A = this chain, B = another copy of it.
Amino acid sequence: MRLLWRSLRGLVLHHRPHRRFLATISSTGNDQRKQQSHKWSSPGSRTERLLYAAYWAGGLALGYHWLSDGHKPLLAEAQVVPSDDEQEARARLWHITPRADLPNYKTDQVEQHNSAKTGIWITYGLGVYDVTDFADNHPGGDKILMAAGSAIDPFWAIYQQHNTLEVLELLEGFRIGNLEGVDLKPGASAAEDELGSPWAHEPQRHALLKPASKRPFNAEPPIGLLAEQFLTPNELFYVRNHLPVPVISAEEYELEIESGSSKKKDPLTLNLEEIKALPKHSVTAAIMCGGNRRSEMTKVKAVKGLSWGAGAVGNAKWSGARLCDVLREQGVQPDESKHVIFEGADLDPTSHPYGASIPLSKALDPRGDVILAYEMNGETLSRDHGYPIRVIVPGTVGARNVKWLTRIVVADKESDSHWQQNDYKGFSPSTDWDTVDFSKSDAIQAMPVTSAICTPQPGARVKPDDDDGHITVRGYAWSGGGRKIVRVDLTSDEGKSWHVAELEQEDSPDGRHYGWSLWTARLPISESSGSDVEIWAKAVDSAYNVQPEKFEHIWNLRGVLANAYHKVRVKIA
């Protein structure tokens, strides 16, 4: 059995099946390629496949550890009246010291206290704290809500101003209990995990990325941080993985391009050095998950999918070779009926690669800015974002921006992958799982206009400016297809009056605004507004498309395209 695991691990992690797959297809006929390669690269017998799948299940059941790392008690009791320094040194140990006078809580109990309504609990080390009454007075405003129901440790690692005796004493005053160690399920699985699961080689992630799922890893940054920088820091950029992250070495990496050209060598194989030797092109592009803001749509009626907040989007400057240069060099001619299929090195339990496609017209258009990216914000692409090559398809739903890109095929049809055919499509609100026919709906490509309020956050207590009674609201807006954001309107009185936000956007040319826009608005708050105010944001793009008002009439069973007005209710202090 161990041997089987090891060989499966080899299949998944070392990218060899795909390399051999590439080698195989390069010498076989077109129609048989897919089938042949799948036969080759999946475990041979039905039993083997079952075991492989079972292994996946085991991996999925494993918990997530970073919270519990470093939560071991380290402390001895102090015996004498301490000096200030000693007092501070001791205070620094409180949060990693269990208190016998307080009850123990499990993480899921803490998680349930994540709003003003349920009470706001947070953890720090193994301390559990009820900060419901403090949240409104938090000097950092509603940022504290980003940690509601979870750990403040990663935030304090960034906001070092918390590291004072005064703050530590304040915090300990809110202590209500101790966090129990994370209960890892079968010890055996944990051991296996270390040895050879498909998940064993997942990269380290920033502690601030909040997972919507851990395996595969899907996580978004706290939305309160999202509008702080025009270019999202790489480590805070949302991660949407469909499968385990493959391990690919720069030396071994190869990209196969099957252009269908009869004029040139076809398929063409490029290694990393060859891709980097092509003219380097940079484009600022936001990438957004098709399911961004799904958690809002779910409130109308349940949908199937990861419960993303509004943080499944990021904006980066991507650099690499232009796909249109490569395809044109191969002799590919414009053809409106054709598609370009992308395959990743990430394999599903049946050894099918992740796949997606885009229209050939997008790939060939120099203004389409499709690139084989090896850099993100000037740094080498990280493993979570597709090292060594990710295809960036600006203005197009994240799912088509295939990571760990290993194969490109110019084809008469769209990719036949699950994610192209039976996912990432929109439907009428009355289509349910009994009536849905995925073949009748168009695969999402360019995304519709959307926006989100990043600060203040829901439930925050906001104090209007003393001078003029305004509150400041900040967020992002974006539209697909290169359409520029031309206006963002805000209201705090359900649309009776609208206020136009100031836009911060790349001063790039008409028609290809692939980057997002950040915006800031100042909303007047009058006494008649009352103590509860709901802020609405709606964006308008350069085709003057607007967001729909609410989710009821755009609801769809997969919870994609959730672009209704973003509405945030806050308390006026």
Contact = CB atoms under 8 A, between A and B. Distances in A.
A230 to B, nearest CB: 20
A408 interface: no
Contacts of A481: 481, 483, 543
Main secondary structure of the interface of A (DSSP, over half): loop
A548 interface: yes
A444 B544 contact: yes
A510 B336 contact: yes
Given A428-B489, A428-B500, A543-B448, A361 B509 contact: yes
A499 B543 contact: no
A361 B510 CA distance: 8
Interface string A195-210: 0000000000000000
A498 interface: yes
A547 B544 CA distance: 11
B448 A544 contact: yes
B337 A509 contact: yes
A191 B500 CA distance: 52
A549 interface: yes
A503 to B, nearest CB: 11
A332 to B, nearest CB: 15
Nearest to A560: B544
B511 A361 contact: yes
Interface in A474-502: 479-481, 483-484, 486-487, 489, 495, 497-500
A365 to B, nearest CB: 8
A244 interface: no
Contact of A447 (B365, B446, B543): B543
A552 interface: yes
A426 B544 contact: yes
Contacts of A429: 489, 495, 498
Interface string A422-441: 00001011110000000001
A561 interface: yes
Contacts of A500: 428, 431
A115 to B, nearest CB: 28
A282 interface: no
B546 A554 contact: yes
B495 A552 contact: yes
Interface string A371-411: 00000000000000000000000000000000000000000
Contacts of A498: 428-430, 553
A20 interface: no
Interface in A517-573: 538, 540, 542-550, 552-554, 561
A498 B435 CA distance: 13
A543 B446 contact: yes
Contacts of A334: 366
Interface string A257-291: 00000000000000000000000000000000000
Contacts of A508: 336
A512 B334 CA distance: 13
Contacts of A542: 442, 445-446
A553 B361 contact: no
A333 to B, nearest CB: 12
A367 interface: yes
A359 interface: yes
A548 B546 contact: yes
A497 B383 CA distance: 45
A549 B546 contact: no
Contacts of A544: 426, 444, 446-448, 561
22 contacts: A336-B510, A336-B511, A337-B509, A337-B510, A359-B510, A426-B486, A426-B544, A430-B499, A441-B487, A442-B484, A444-B544, A445-B543, A446-B483, A447-B543, A448-B543, A480-B543, A495-B553, A538-B553, A543-B545, A546-B554, A548-B548, A549-B550
Interface of A: 334, 336-337, 359, 361-362, 365-367, 426, 428-431, 441-442, 444-449, 479-481, 483-484, 486-487, 489, 495, 497-500, 508-512, 538, 540, 542-550, 552-554, 561
Q: What 5 pairs across the A-B complex have the smallest Cβ distances?
A: A336-B509, A446-B543, A545-B545, A448-B545, A430-B498
